[in-house]
């Protein structure tokens, strides 16, 4: 008799918080870039403005991706039962425990060997 499966789902609250933080950072970067442009930034200033705005666009894209993940939070999970199942918004990947040699976990990643 096997133990019931444990299911770990996406933490929607944390995902929303990180997304909002990125959006606020992007707004601050765009405003600061605008101030540099208004003050007549030189060549170095324009380089900083362009780099800052590109980073801001990246943060906005990350915010949008986070909103999509939260909208489909049910499709993101890790399930530990008779096999290891993981879904990241697509069809789940299943690995039987007999094929697993080692599992390594740190703060950011799960490695199954």
pLDDT at 1 over 90: no
Q: Is the pTM of this model over 0.85?
A: no
Q: Quick one: average pLDDT of 87-108?
A: 85
pLDDT score recorded for residue 21? 96
- Residue 28 pLDDT: 96
Q: How high is the pLDDT of residue 22?
A: 96
Name which residue leads in pLDDT, 108 or 91.
Answer: 91
Q: Which residues are within 8 A (CB) of 70 and not within 5 positions of it... i.e. 6 or more apart?
A: 10, 12, 15, 16, 19
pLDDT at 2 over 80: no
CA–CA dist 34, 112 (Å, integer): 46
Quote the DSSP letter at residue 101: -
The proportion of the chain whose per-residue pLDDT surpasses 70, expressed as a percent, equals 97
């Amino acid at each position: 008799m096997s133990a019931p499966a444990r299911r770990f789902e996406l933490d929607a609250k944390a995902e929303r918080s990180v997304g909002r933080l990125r959006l606020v950072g992007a707004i601050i970067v765009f405003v600061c870039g605008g101030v540099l442009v208004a003050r007549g930034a030189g060549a170095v200033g324009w380089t900083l403005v362009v780099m800052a705005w590109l980073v801001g666009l990246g943060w906005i894209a990350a915010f949008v991706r986070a909103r999509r993940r939260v909208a489909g939070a049910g499709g993101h999970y890790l399930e530990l039962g008779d096999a290891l199942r993981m879904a990241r918004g697509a069809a789940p990947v299943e690995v039987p425990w007999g094929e697993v040699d080692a599992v390594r976990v740190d703060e950011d990643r799960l490695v199954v060997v």
